[in-house]
Chains A and B, each alone.
Chain A
């Protein structure tokens, strides 16, 4: 690494060398994050089809394989789907706003990928270790809704427009509950940096994780996350039985696939954030021998996979919410609940230090 830095210094001079070196290094790191993420997205679609198939007593994809190896049957399906999508024609409807029509999928996937910049994968592995990491993620995820709105408007189709309107109202409503749930977390951790939030949950076992004192907030955050990603049972933006496919009804080929990728990348992001913030990130559930032997990164992956399973489980088992019930859940249930919890947490934090340092409270308040 230092050798490469010297090489850049010799080549571009002392002023530009360090700048160009850090640019190249960051680009390489971005590729190192995005490539596994997109692979994860591809295989999440396979996992979804397989798991839902098992829940409905079907087999799921079991044909496409690599080099004819029989026990890999089904594992080639995401690759085959990607190749198929790449080959298809992108149809731009009559009267559509061409620029915005093409821009919409890009605007959906860009924030979904950009948010990963501040996600720590282990104590040292993080691309940008910024102070306001949590705020940055909130800001990036709140940008994702533009892709949906623009897609709905630029398609020049009533179904797409209805889907976009529904999605805009839903995402803006649930962002509030999500933000308030995260306020509770940063009251406990005194930090907006994701690495520091995980370090605040250290202490020997899973009892120290923020899941225990903030369990209702975990539920609020996770359900709001499902609603933010427009997944079932909150998928009224797509609503294939009511408005065909919602905002992406006019999209085909790779343009549609990019929406699809963004949805799954957002799912993985919500699961990752929930495991970092509430489930102790890379910390093992018990700080004793067999658990500490497994590296922290594997623990994080296990927690993410566990939460992603819930996304798929919800889709297989819950019927779609009615639109007014979605709004009721967001505004009349979640937001009051989070507000009460913030006040409660603030009151506990104002207790005399002797009580905060006594047994049950000293686990979480340091």
Chain B
């Protein structure tokens, strides 16, 4: 067993354990933090596959931004565990069906003749100065530019929709315009009054 194998099995064990923890943890904050750990170890596995750009982006986007906001929301919730467990047996058959379909699909990919590991050639070895990022960027902006732009537009639509759904025009909010505040001159606020000094009686 080489050093790389040991690293792989270490990351894989942590990943599976933390992913199990996500669905078994009683406390939702613990579950969210275990999901962060799962993302992080997954990035480690991707690094072993020499996909350094994807690995670092996974950490940057999912760990650094998405999960922070997720944790933000989860911490604010007042979660009643008993109420969460109420409908468990009612929904159990539905969940089991979904799990079965997913397991079947995974078996198709892993065991089918078309997709098996023998059909997939090992990626060619790269030179030391091979830049994963540059290669990915070149493909995204040339061959797959339409798909990429479409994804960007869909995301933009989602942003606009999220704002449109939550924007409330409140009446009478007290609001200061910073540009007006900056523009204020002394003459607008202070009036110099020249008064003759009063004499003592």
Contacts and interface: CB of A to CB of B under 8 A. Distances in A.
Nearest to A145: B68
B6 to A, nearest CB: 10
Interface residues of A, number: 29
B56 A15 contact: no
A132 B72 contact: no
A325 B178 CA distance: 8
Interface in B45-87: 52-53, 56-57, 59-60, 63-65, 68-69, 71-72, 75-76
A100 B36 CA distance: 14
B131 A142 contact: no
A143 interface: yes
A132 B75 contact: no
B68 A172 contact: yes
Contacts of B131: 131, 192
Given A145-B68, A175-B65, A132 B3 contact: no
B24 interface: no
Interface stretch (A146-154, A211-219, A310-318): A146-154
B3 A139 contact: no
Contact of A131 (B2, B36, B60, B133): B133
B64 A139 contact: yes
A349 interface: no
A168 B52 contact: no
A142 B56 CA distance: 11
Nearest to A332: B178
Contacts of B13: none
B12 interface: no
Given A146-B36, A328-B178, A132 B68 contact: no
A348 interface: no
B29 interface: yes
Contacts of B178: 325, 328
Contacts of B129: 131
B116 interface: no
B65 A132 contact: no
Contacts of A153: 29, 75
Contacts of A145: 64, 68
Interface in A178-210: 192
B36 A15 contact: no
Interface of A: 15-16, 19, 100, 130-132, 135-136, 138-139, 142-143, 145-146, 149-150, 153, 161, 164-165, 168-169, 171-172, 175, 192, 325, 328
